Structure 1
Amino acid sequence: MDFILSLPIVSYFLAPAITSWSTSLNLLFFYMTWSTLVLSHGALKIQLIGLFAIRLVLWLAPSLLFLAFDTLLPSVAASLKAGGASSLPSTRNNGTQLLRTFALAVFNLALSAALDAAATTFSCYAFGSPVFKTSTTLPLPWQLVKHLALLLAGRELLTYYIHRGVLHASSPNRAAKWHAQYAHARKTPLFSLRLFADHPVPCLLHRFVPLYLPAVALRPHLLVYFLYVALCTGEETLAMSGYSTVPGIIMGGIARRTAAHYASGGVGNYGAWGILDWAHGTTRGQDVMEDMKDEAEKHAVKERGENAASNGLSAVKEGMNGLKKGGRGRPRKTKTEKEDS
């Protein structure tokens, strides 16, 4: 736990919450923590423990929290689920099934971590450097944004074509059969613990390969890779939660399309974000463009309301100022005028 808290990506977000330091001091603290970590630990250890911390904070903890919420407050949770009360996981009769789901998900995560470690070890011995750049030099903001955009685009491409062409191929193959037996065997309610609960081979093809291959091809800074994995893990956790109301501009649509994919037994909605589903016409339900249009209309309505309120307040202020000026500019009656009137 001490090592996890010493990770700079955790310290950077905790520092503003527990202190009143300025941004420059936070960046200095971040740089010093990262430099100390790199100089005192090996690249493989930093990578594995960092990925473990990300999965723990952004998948396991929220998944257990969502499961507790669905179990303790079912009436409230049902109003947030895409399928209503039928989408709530049952813990009374399926406790053993939940334990198996959890154990399978943890096993698949351990397997992906072992492959990650093997690739990093091979790279160190074969090329003299780890897969990802682990140096005290921090990535520049523009480089970080550019690398994130490339990594996310590569993940979207691989996720869509592997998911559609291999795991849901028209011609049967072993990976597709295993995926159907484990991920789509029963129309069980969708919840976040099922994110990695699949046969190991389809799970690696669906969750690990699209995430890891773009990073291996680009070889970004390790901090960029951490941020990339954190974004994808948080997105996948919310998408598999089964909730139709989740934060984010298009996250609600992603969650609804994921729920529709599993409810239909794997028909449509093969991509991560739905962009390639829209391009290929494989969207089931509302597509990503309709989600963005709805969000734009919501923001436009909000802006129009704010403008109307601002204009109304301005009109009231101008009217009050006019009354004040009118009252000041009116000549007062003299004593004689008052007696005559």
Structure 2
Amino acid sequence: MDVLLSLPIVSYFFSTSLTSWSTSLNLLFFYMTWSTLVLSHSPLRIELIGITAIRTVLWLIPSLVFLLIDTVVPSLAESIKHTGAAALPPRDAAYIARTVGLALLNLALESALESGLSLGLTTAIGSPIFLTSTTLPLPWHLIKQLALLFTAREVLTYYIHRYLLHSSQRSPRVTRLHKQFAHSHRGAPYSLLLGADHPIPFLLHRFVPLYLPAAALRPHILVYLIFVALSTLEETLATSGYSIVPGIMMGGVTRRCSAHYSSSGRGNYGAWGLLDWVHGTSVGRGDVMDDVRDEAEKHQIKERGGNMVQNGIDGLRRSARNRKSRRVSSDSN
């Protein structure tokens, strides 16, 4: 618990910086908290406590809250689910208890596997698998590494999901287990199903695309924790089945995830839908390019881009006129 409370992000949210501190003091407070954490705990401990806290706060707790809403007020949940009543979880106490137990088991297995792999890799290479130091990553490095990690995750998620979890010819046993557990519920999913798969397909689908790119890139531990946090939040919202998820892009991800479950896994294998669009495996209403067009229209990108170009041209013309006026003035003198 002391490690969890000492995580910089937790300390930040419980500080008064949200109301009165300047940005510089926020950064100083964050750096001091992070330095204290790094100097007082081992890299492996920081990694494991960090990811466990992230998955608990951003997936397990919201999933149980969503499950409570779906079962206590089903009429409300039905009205905001993509496939209506078909998306509601069965109102069977024994079934729900088994689903929660399986999700908790997979969460524990995921943490144990990561612990063993990180410990083994650290021993093999003689240094922590993720850079753990008081020096924080520069913004450009953070953005670049996150972009690489998310790209690799999308690629691995798509091909693992399509060719291992939904291909009875290539991997009949894994495909059968995935359909038996993850796709036992017809209609749009609910967030608890994110972890309620058989352990083998669960680890292939949810753990490998996260950990493998990070282990290859070996970023700063803070970059890895941010990557896990954003991915976990995305997956929780995507599997919620709700049609009221904010944002066109995130709403599209949720809609495609619901279509994947409703179609018994006939398409929409990627997290974002880009590779589904490339390979023609999109199912349901709209694909990722439709979301991009909607997002562009929402923010009026064409109009703003045209205004920026026109403003640039006007600026160049004004500069030319000013230079000409200065030359005429100097010649007259």
TM-score if structure 2 supplies the norm length? 0.86
* Amino acid corresponding to residue 239 of structure 1 in structure 2: A
1:170 CA drift (Å)? 4.5
Distance 1:210 1:227 in 2: 15
Give the match for residue 274 of structure 1: 273
- The amino acid that maps onto 1:98 is I
Counterpart Cα distance in 2 of 1:81 and 1:160: 25
The 5-angstrom pairing of residues 1-341 of structure 1 reads 1-15=1-15, 19-91=19-91, 94-171=92-169, 172-187=171-186, 190-285=189-284, 286-300=286-300
Q: Deviations over 1:100-141 (max 9, x none)?
A: 111111111111111111112112222221111111110000
Amino acid at match of 1:99: A
2:187–2:258: 8 Å Cα contact kept in structure 1?
no
Q: Which amino acid aligns with 1:282?
A: T
CA spacing shift, 1:281–1:46, aligned 2, 3 Å: same
Change (3 A) 1:189 1:274: closer
Alpha-carbon distance between aligned partners in 2 of 1:4 and 1:96, rounded to the nearest angstrom: 33
Are 2:81 and 2:188, in contact at CA under 8 Å, matched by a contact in 1?
no
Contact between 2:83 and 2:187, CA under 8 Å: does it hold in 1? no
Task: Report if aligned partners of 2:86, 2:186 keep a CA contact under 8 Å in 1.
Answer: no
Equivalent pairs: percent with the same residue?
63
Residue-by-residue CA offset, 1:60-86 (whole Å, 9 max, x unaligned):
111111122223333322221101133
Q: Is the contact made by 2:194 and 2:236 (CA closer than 8 Å) also made in structure 1?
A: yes
SS of the residue corresponding to residue 15 of structure 2 reads helix
Deviation at 1:36, TM superposition (A): 0.7
Query: Kindly tell me: are residues 234 and 271 of structure 1, through their superposed partners in 2, closer, same or farther at Cα, counting changes over 3 Å?
Result: same
- Separation in structure 2 between the aligned mates of residue 100 and residue 188 of structure 1, nearest angstrom: 19
Distance 1:14 1:131, change over 3 A: same
Q: Which moved more, 1:177-186 or 1:251-260?
A: 177-186
| Residues 16 and 255 (structure 1), Cα distance of their counterparts in 2 relative to 1, 3 Å cut | farther
| Bigger mean CA deviation after superposition, 14-23 or 192-201 | 14-23
Instruction: Map Cα deviations across residues 26-82 of structure 1 (whole Å, 9 max, x no partner).
Output: 111111111111111111111111011101110011111112222333332222110
CA apart distance, 1:299: 3.4
Work out which of the two has the higher radius of gyration on C-alpha atoms and give 1 or 2.
1
Contact 1:119/1:131 (CA < 8 Å) preserved in 2?
Answer: no
CA contact (8 A) 2:3 2:46 kept: no
Partner secondary structure for residue 126 of structure 1: helix
Distance 1:151 1:40 in 2: 28
TM-score when scaled to structure 1? Answer: 0.84
The whole-number CA distance in structure 2 between the counterparts of 1:249 and 1:242 is: 15
| Matches of 2:2 and 2:61, distance apart in 1 | 18
Question: Following the alignment from structure 1 to structure 2, what is the Cα–Cα distance between the partners of residues 213 and 117?
Answer: 14
Alpha-carbon distance change, 177 to 90 in structure 1, aligned in 2, over 3 angstroms: closer
Sort the Cα spacing of 1:22 and 1:215 in 2 relative to 1 into closer, same or farther, 3 A. Answer: same
Unpaired stretches in structure 2, ≥5 consecutive residues: 305-333
1:17 Cα deviation from its structure 2 partner:
5.6
For 2:125 and 2:111, locate their aligned partners in 1 and report how far apart those are by CA, in whole Å: 21
Amino acid at match of 1:15: S
Q: How many angstroms apart in 1 are the aligned matches of 2:16 and 2:154?
A: 33
Aligned residues: 301
Residue type matched to 1:90 in 2? Answer: P
RMSD of aligned residue pairs (Cα, Å): 1.8
Deviations along 1:182-201, one digit per CA (max 9) or x if unpaired, are 11234265110110111111
Cα offsets for 1:185-231 (capped at 9, x unmatched): 34265110110111111001100001111101100000000000000
Q: Which amino acid aligns with 2:138?
A: L
